[in-house]
Structure 1
Amino acid sequence: MKFRTLKKRTDTYKKKLGQIPGSIIYTGKKLEQQLFIEAFDFNKEQCIVKQLSSIEEGFEFKLSNSITWLNINGLNHVDQIEKIGEHYELHPLVLEDIVNISQRPKIDDYDDYMFVVLKMLYYNDDDEMVSEQVSFILGENYVLSFQEADGDVFDEVRERIKQAKGRVRSMNADYLLYVLIDAVVDHYFVIIETLGNKIEDFETEIFSGNVDDDISKHIQDLKREILKVRRSIFPLREVINRIEKNDSALIHKKTITYYRDIYDHLIQVSENIDIYREMIWSLMDMYMTTISNKMNEVMKVLTIMASIFIPLTFIAGIYGMNFEYIPELSYRYSYFILWGVMIVLFISMLIYFKRKKWL
């Protein structure tokens, strides 16, 4: 089982072995994902929302005076990704990174656009954490977002654009990128809140003594979730920091304050993650201590039982010897006296152990 897991993890990298740099090779496993493209073209006065049947339909928005957001789901359609790259004049290495889902959160600054990669985390309907890579291309008046599959955290952003809520319809494309990244970071808070609740539930369960046999496995799964969140958040801090200090014309000064707010949120999430990591180790120590205490209780009961029966066994052993002459055996009431002595001895030892608080 361990070998199969390791093989599954390394398949992603084997797909790119020996390939020419800039080769557009999808490294994910959702090969049957259908291509889904949605377009939002808006300004203060109006908003056009379209579901596109082909990527060519979205090319007309590039020359518009409004702000355009093209959201592309389905990284397995590399031919469509190539068409986007040709139309928007994206570097081949950018296209390679878009379809390579094992990318670390990062930012690359080019002459006419900015490339940002981050990890989107959320819980699905089965209460399982989903980690999906999201890539953004920020241009002068457009934002392109690339996702591996359907399902994201941008529903509120879509409603704000449609209903003209907030500043998104009156700001530039860099603010739209901020809104999208902020939606991802806001869901980090949902993730850590859920993780915190799980840790508290485990603490309560361990302290109450009602420990499930699979709790160690659940704790290990929770530990892996925390590490996954940590790997997504810590590099993103560097990304936001670089956006703040970037002198690109794509990032306006009035928008930098908003990105600084995202950075503050990431610091807060990072601190909570570090705290939860320590709490997870404490949970394991608590669990092992609980197991040890239960074992000690069992050993104490067994030891007390052995201590009680040792003298009784000694007495029974003496009078069970096969000597021809044992004076007490000839006495008529020896059997009842022996029982009485053994009962008195048994009760006395129980009283003694009770006073010592060993029972």
Structure 2
Amino acid sequence: MAKKRQKKRTQNYKKQIGQVPGALIYTGAKEDKSLHLHVFDYNDDDCKEADLDSVEDAFRFKDSETITWFNLNGLNFINEIEKIGNYYKLHPLILEDIVNTTQRPKIDEYNDYIFIVLKMMYYDETENIVAEQVSFVLGKNYVLTFQEAEGDVFDNVRERIRTKKGRVRVHESDYLLYALIDAIVDNYYAIIETMGNKIEDLEDDLFTGLTQEEISQQIQNLKREILKIRRAIFPLREIINRLEKSENGLIDEKTTHFFRDVYDHVIQVTETIDIYREMIWSLMDMYMTTISNKMNEVMKVLTIIATIFIPLTFIAGIYGMNFVNMPELHYKYGYHIVWIVMIVIFVGMLIYFKRKKWL
């Protein structure tokens, strides 16, 4: 089993070993059967929304005076992503990072665009944490987003664009980038809230007699989840800080105030994660202490029983069966009765130990 897990962990990295820098190799597991292309093109007065049949249909929006948000779902469609990169003149290493789903969150600034990689995280129906890579390209009057598959946390932003709520329709593309990043960061709050509930439930379960294997496995799962969240969120501080202090012409000075607010949210989330991390480690200590206390209770009961029978065993050992008047020795079924009594005592003790969860 351990070998299988190790193979699974290193599989994505093996796809990149020995490859030419800039080679486009999708390393994820969410391979869509069809390419999903969606575009918003808007200004203060008008908004157009459409699903596109090909990436070439989005090229006509590049030099328009309106703001364009072009979204691609399906990182396994390498040829289409390469077409977008060629048209928007994106560096080959940028395209490599887009399809490399193991990429650490980062920001790269160029003269004509800014490239950002983030991790979008959410819980699925079974409350398992899912991390999906989202790449952003901010240019003049446009924002490109690349996602592994359909389903994201941007529905609120889309609704604000459609209904002209908030400031998104009256600002430039840098504000759209802020709104999308803010949606991802806001969803982190839901993640850590669920994580906090799980920790509190485990604290209660430690005193309700759950089986050792079950409670220890839950603690290990929480450790893996908190580490995954930490790896995704901690680099975000540097990214937002650079956006806030950027002197790139694509970032308006007014928008930096909004990025500063996102930075405050990221700091709050990271501090909460550190607290939860310490709580999870303390859960293991609490678990070991609970197990030790239960063992002490078991040993105390067994010691009392043994102490009671020690003097009785001592007396029986000296005198044995050396009595003249022992009615049971002459009873026809005495031997069978003794066996029945011993079996009943044995089974009764097993049932008692099971109910006490000592076995």
Do 2:31 and 2:148's aligned partners in 1 also have CA atoms closer than 8 Å? no
User: Could you give the per-residue CA deviations for residues 3-30 of structure 1, whole angstroms, max 9, x where no partner exists?
Assistant: 1111111111111122111111111123
Instruction: Please tell me the residue identity of whatever aligns with 1:270.
Output: T
SS of the residue corresponding to residue 75 of structure 2 reads coil
Instruction: Please tell me the residue identity of whatever aligns with 2:250.
Output: L
Do 1:135 and 1:146's aligned partners in 2 also have CA atoms closer than 8 Å? yes
Written as runs of structure 1 = structure 2, the 5 A alignment for 1:75-94 is: 75-94=75-94
Counterpart Cα distance in 1 of 2:314 and 2:125: 66
Counterpart Cα distance in 2 of 1:162 and 1:331: 102
Unmatched 5+ stretches in structure 1: 323-328, 334-359
User: Could you give the per-residue CA deviations for residues 236-282 of structure 1, whole angstroms, max 9, x where no partner exists?
Assistant: 11011111111000000000010011110110001110001110011
Unmatched 5+ stretches in structure 2: 328-359
User: Percentage identity across aligned positions?
Assistant: 64
Instruction: Please tell me the residue identity of whatever aligns with 2:46.
Output: Q
Counterpart Cα distance in 2 of 1:135 and 1:243: 15
Instruction: Name the counterpart of 1:308.
Output: 308
Instruction: Name the counterpart of 1:353.
Output: none
Counterpart Cα distance in 2 of 1:115 and 1:330: 100
Instruction: Please tell me the residue identity of whatever aligns with 1:278.
Output: E
Counterpart Cα distance in 2 of 1:233 and 1:22: 26
Counterpart Cα distance in 2 of 1:16 and 1:88: 25
Counterpart Cα distance in 1 of 2:234 and 2:88: 30
Counterpart Cα distance in 1 of 2:201 and 2:95: 44
Instruction: Name the counterpart of 2:127.
Output: 127
State the Cα distance separating 1:212 from its structure 2 match: 6.0
- State yes or no: 1:53 paired with 2:46: no
Instruction: Name the counterpart of 1:103.
Output: 103
Written as runs of structure 1 = structure 2, the 5 A alignment for 1:9-20 is: 9-20=9-20
Instruction: Name the counterpart of 1:178.
Output: 178
Counterpart Cα distance in 1 of 2:75 and 2:217: 33
**Structure 1 residues 81 and 331, CA gap change in structure 2 (3 angstroms):** closer
Larger Rg: 1
Written as runs of structure 1 = structure 2, the 5 A alignment for 1:222-301 is: 222-301=222-301
Counterpart Cα distance in 1 of 2:34 and 2:186: 28
Do 2:140 and 2:173's aligned partners in 1 also have CA atoms closer than 8 Å? yes
Do 2:31 and 2:149's aligned partners in 1 also have CA atoms closer than 8 Å? no
**Structure 1 residues 306 and 212, CA gap change in structure 2 (3 angstroms):** closer
State the Cα distance separating 1:207 from its structure 2 match: 2.8
Counterpart Cα distance in 2 of 1:223 and 1:14: 26
State the Cα distance separating 1:129 from its structure 2 match: 1.0
With normalisation by structure 2, the TM-score equals: 0.88
Counterpart Cα distance in 1 of 2:211 and 2:153: 35
Report the number of matched residues.
Answer: 328
Instruction: Name the counterpart of 1:156.
Output: 156
Q: What root-mean-square deviation, in Å, do the aligned CA atoms of Structure 1 and Structure 2 show?
A: 1.7
With normalisation by structure 1, the TM-score equals: 0.88
SS of the residue corresponding to residue 122 of structure 2 reads strand
Counterpart Cα distance in 2 of 1:267 and 1:50: 37
User: Could you give the per-residue CA deviations for residues 42-88 of structure 1, whole angstroms, max 9, x where no partner exists?
Assistant: 11111100001111111111121110000100000000001101111
Instruction: Please tell me the residue identity of whatever aligns with 2:103.
Output: Q
Counterpart Cα distance in 1 of 2:22 and 2:67: 29
**Structure 1 residues 162 and 212, CA gap change in structure 2 (3 angstroms):** farther
State the Cα distance separating 1:331 from its structure 2 match: 8.6
SS of the residue corresponding to residue 214 of structure 1 reads helix
